[in-house]
Amino acid sequence: MREAGEENAMKPSEFAWIAALGLAFAPALAAMAGVWREVDYASHGFLVPLVAAWAAFAQLPALRRLPVESSSWGRGVIAASLLVYAAGLAATQVTLQGVALVGAVAGTVLVLRGGPWLRALAFPVGYLLFMVPLPESWVAPVIVALRLFVTQVGVAVLGALGTPVAQTGNILELPGGETLFVAEACSGITSVLTLLPIGVFVAYATERRLARRLVLVAAVVPLAMLGNLLRVVASVWLALVYGAGFATTGLVHTVAGLLTYVLGVAALLLLSSGLQRVWPKPPERAAPA
């Protein structure tokens, strides 16, 4: 064991270990990148490793003070990860491949640096799970339920505002005879799955109290759904004034999606600031004389 405070720069053998695992898991990274490119609600996967790397880099001062010791548990974690990886490759299941990759990263930290290092890097390593695409069989029924919910609530809100809209499933029938289809992009699934890693990161970076962190993360779903509800209502108003084609295609539709995302992020930051004002950290007890 190398004691804390000693030189703990990486050895050539450690670089070789990491390179070997990187080569082994290259197909998993390629498969996940393909999903990130093709599926809107998984596109945040490109940014997750960068955020995790930043969070790990921020721990460097603390890591330099930790002892470096190999943990025998690490080899077991890597062996289990390789078994999961083999199953994912055999079943062409990207989710299993991604989970195996994150497990191998955790196991590598244990093998090369030990348990104290893994505990210090728990957030960046765990955060990598957000880059793992969810199985489509899990997401599809959620999308159906969210689309129906947004459509029903949108119709109720529009009716309360004096704009009666008929509903047939996920289709809105406007007073002028035109129809709007509430697509997957308006269901809220993209907002929820892309705002969730942001909410977790904001909670980690700005809060120290567990309760406030949980409030921030729990607020992601209602904020995301509220943003998409506003998007649906705004699309209906634009369709009534300028036509359905104007409201649902081209630059207007793209900007509406970006605004929904930006407003969600802004709402999370405002909520974090508000929590710190109305729910301040309790004063520390004075040390006994």
Per-residue pLDDT, 288: 47
> Of residues 248 and 85, which shows the higher confidence score?
85
Encode pLDDT of 169-215 as tens digits.
Answer: 888 888 877 888 887 767 788 889 999 999 999 999 988 888 889 99
Beta bridge partner(s), residue 172: 167, 180
Question: Model confidence at 8, in pLDDT bands (50, 70, 90)?
Answer: low
**Is pTM beyond 0.85 here?**
yes
Q: At what angle do helices 220-242 and 250-278 cross, to 10 degrees?
A: 140
Please tell me the predicted confidence (pLDDT) of residue 287: 45
Q: What's the CA angle centered on 201, arms 196 and 203, to 5 degrees?
A: 95
For position 51, what pLDDT does the model report?
96
Task: Give CA 137 to chain center in angstroms.
Answer: 18
Instruction: Work out the mean pLDDT of the chain and round it to a whole number.
Output: 87
